Homo-oligomer: A and B are copies of this chain.
C-alpha cells in the first residue's frame, strides 16, 4: 500500500485486485502525516468519517462510479459539510451546512474527501505565501514558492497525498501552482463547474479547477463534476465527452518573438521552445500571434476595477475588521475603494476593445500554447517584494478568464536546470476536451515523473479517432 501510486488507474487496478478503499484512505492519512508539512491542509476530515465513507461505497464499479475510492482534497474556499470554510482568513470562518455542488458530485462518483487545503487568503494571489497559516512547501523545491492561490491543493497532489484536488482559478490560481509543482492543472470553461458553495473571488471570472497527477485523472474528475447547476446563475452547460485522439494537424497560436515575456529567464524560454517542438511533432502548425492585446487584458485584471469584485466578496471583513486580514491581501483588495461604478464600466469598455483585437487571433487557430509561468520565484523573492513577482507569474494566465477561454497546464520535460517544465494549452470556452486530449498525449510523450513522486504516468488507453477541435460542439451559452 505504501508504494501504491495514487493516480486513478493504479488505484482502480488495485481495487480490481481486491484492495480495500478503507486501507487506501488510511494510507492517504498516513502519507499526510508523513509529509510533515502543516501548511498543506487547514482542516483534515476526521479519518473515521472518511473511512466510513469508503466503507459505505457499493461494490467496486469504475464505470458506474468513475472516482470509486479515490481520495481528494478541496481548497478551503470550497464548502464541505462538516469542515469549516476559512478562505485562509480565520476571522471569516463558517461551518457550511452542505457540500459545495461540485464536492457533492465528486462524492456521488465515489471520491472520498480527506481535507481542506491552504490558499492565498481569499484566493488573492498566485504565490501561495499570503496565508496566516504555515506556508505549504513547494513539492519539488522548498526554496521556490508553492504557487497560489491554490497552494495546498497543488502540493497535496504533487506529493501523492491525494489523487486529485479542487482549486479555484480567477487569474491563474489553478494553473500557476500546477507549473510550480509539476502537475496537471485543468482550468475549465467558465460556468462548466458550479460555483454553488464556493466563496467567490471575482464572481464573473471564477471557476473551480482541478489538479491531478495525470490529464486523464483531471478529466475523469472534471467529467464527474461538470453537472449543470441551475441554482448557479453563472453556470453554463458543459461539454465533457470521453477524450478522442488528437487530430493529425492543428493550428497553435503562440506569443510572437517580440511579445514573449520571460523576465530574463532564458532557461524558461528554452523550455517553452522545447514545448513548441513537441507540439510540432504532434502535427501542430505554430502561428505566431502579436500577444500585446493579451498582455493588455492581463494588466486590466491586476490594475483595473475587477478588484471591486474581491471587495464585494470580502466586504464584511475588509470594511469592518480589516486588521484581521493578511496585510498583503488587505492592501490589494483595499485598492477597490478607489474605483467607482463608472470606473467599473470603463474597465468593461477597455476589455471589450481589447477583445475585439484579440478574439480574431483566438478564432483563427485551433488552440493556443503559452508558458504556464514566465519564470520561477523563490520564497525569499516574495519576502523582498510581495507584489511584483506575483504579478509577473500571471503573465500568461490573467487574460484567460477575461477572454472566456478554457485552459490546461501540462507538465513537460524538466528545464535544463531540473525545474519542472509546463505548457498551458488554451482554447475557446467549450473546447476543454480538445485540450485534454492533446495534453494527455503531450504529457505521455514527455515521460516525466508525476509531481514530486517517483511514479510514472500509466499508459493511456487507445482512443477513438480524432475530431478536429473545430468539430467539438460548443456549449450553449446562457
Residues on A close to B: CB < 8 A? 202-204, 230, 233-234, 305-309, 311-312, 315, 336-337, 339-349, 352-353, 355-356, 359, 477-478
Question: What are 11 A-B residue pairs whose CB atoms fall within 8 Å in the complex?
Answer: A202-B345, A204-B348, A233-B352, A233-B355, A307-B341, A308-B340, A308-B341, A311-B341, A312-B346, A336-B340, A359-B478
Query: Which of the listed residues A203, A230, A344 has the most CB atoms from chain B within 10 Å of its own CB?
Result: A344
Query: Which of the listed residues A233, A307, A346 has the most CB atoms from chain B within 10 Å of its own CB?
Result: A233
Known contacts A233-B355, A337-B340, A355-B478; 17 additional CB pairs below 8 A are: A203-B345, A203-B349, A230-B356, A233-B356, A234-B352, A306-B345, A308-B344, A311-B340, A312-B343, A312-B345, A312-B349, A336-B342, A339-B341, A341-B341, A341-B343, A341-B347, A359-B478
Complex Cα distance, B348 from A312, in Å, reads 12
A-B complex: 4 closest residue pairs judged by Cβ atoms: A308-B341, A344-B344, A339-B341, A341-B344
Which B residues lie within 8 Å of A311 (CB)?
A: 340-342
Interface of A, secondary structure class, is helix
Which B residues lie within 8 Å of A343 (CB)?
A: 308, 312, 341
Nearest residue in B to A353 (C-beta to C-beta)? B233
Complex Cα distance, B180 from A136, in Å, reads 67
Nearest residue in B to A348 (C-beta to C-beta)? B204
Complex Cα distance, B202 from A449, in Å, reads 54
Nearest residue in B to A234 (C-beta to C-beta)? B352
What's the nearest-Cβ distance from chain B to residue A230, in Å? 7
Query: Which of the listed residues A204, A340, A346, A359 has the most CB atoms from chain B within 10 Å of its own CB?
Result: A340
Complex Cα distance, B340 from A311, in Å, reads 10
What's the nearest-Cβ distance from chain B to residue A237, in Å? 13
Question: Is the Cβ of B234 less than 8 Å from the Cβ of A342?
Answer: no
Which B residues lie within 8 Å of A352 (CB)?
A: 233-234
Complex Cα distance, B441 from A399, in Å, reads 48
Question: Is the Cβ of A345 less than 8 Å from the Cβ of B308?
Answer: yes
Which B residues lie within 8 Å of A477 (CB)?
A: 477
Which B residues lie within 8 Å of A233 (CB)?
A: 349, 352-353, 355-356
What's the nearest-Cβ distance from chain B to residue A119, in Å? 21
What's the nearest-Cβ distance from chain B to residue A470, in Å? 14
Question: Is the Cβ of B336 less than 8 Å from the Cβ of A341?
Answer: yes
Which B residues lie within 8 Å of A341 (CB)?
A: 305, 307-308, 311, 336, 339-341, 343-344, 347
Which B residues lie within 8 Å of A312 (CB)?
A: 342-343, 345-346, 349
Question: Is the Cβ of B234 less than 8 Å from the Cβ of A345?
Answer: no
Question: Is the Cβ of B359 less than 8 Å from the Cβ of A342?
Answer: no
What's the nearest-Cβ distance from chain B to residue A114, in Å? 33
Which B residues lie within 8 Å of A336 (CB)?
A: 340-342
Complex Cα distance, B344 from A344, in Å, reads 6
Question: Is the Cβ of B344 less than 8 Å from the Cβ of A315?
Answer: no
Which B residues lie within 8 Å of A339 (CB)?
A: 340-341
Question: Is the Cβ of A342 less than 8 Å from the Cβ of B203?
Answer: no
Complex Cα distance, B353 from A234, in Å, reads 8
Which B residues lie within 8 Å of A315 (CB)?
A: 342
Question: Is the Cβ of A309 less than 8 Å from the Cβ of B204?
Answer: no
What's the nearest-Cβ distance from chain B to residue A324, in Å? 19
Which B residues lie within 8 Å of A204 (CB)?
A: 345, 348
Complex Cα distance, B340 from A347, in Å, reads 13
Which B residues lie within 8 Å of A359 (CB)?
A: 478
Query: Which of the listed residues A202, A306, A307, A352 has the most CB atoms from chain B within 10 Å of its own CB?
Result: A352
Which B residues lie within 8 Å of A306 (CB)?
A: 345
Complex Cα distance, B352 from A340, in Å, reads 20
Complex Cα distance, B203 from A375, in Å, reads 39
Complex Cα distance, B234 from A359, in Å, reads 13
Which B residues lie within 8 Å of A307 (CB)?
A: 341
Question: Is the Cβ of A309 less than 8 Å from the Cβ of B342?
Answer: yes
Which B residues lie within 8 Å of A344 (CB)?
A: 305, 308, 341, 344-345
Question: Is the Cβ of A478 less than 8 Å from the Cβ of B345?
Answer: no
What's the nearest-Cβ distance from chain B to residue A435, in Å? 22
What's the nearest-Cβ distance from chain B to residue A362, in Å? 12
Complex Cα distance, B398 from A11, in Å, reads 57
Complex Cα distance, B314 from A346, in Å, reads 12
Complex Cα distance, B346 from A343, in Å, reads 14
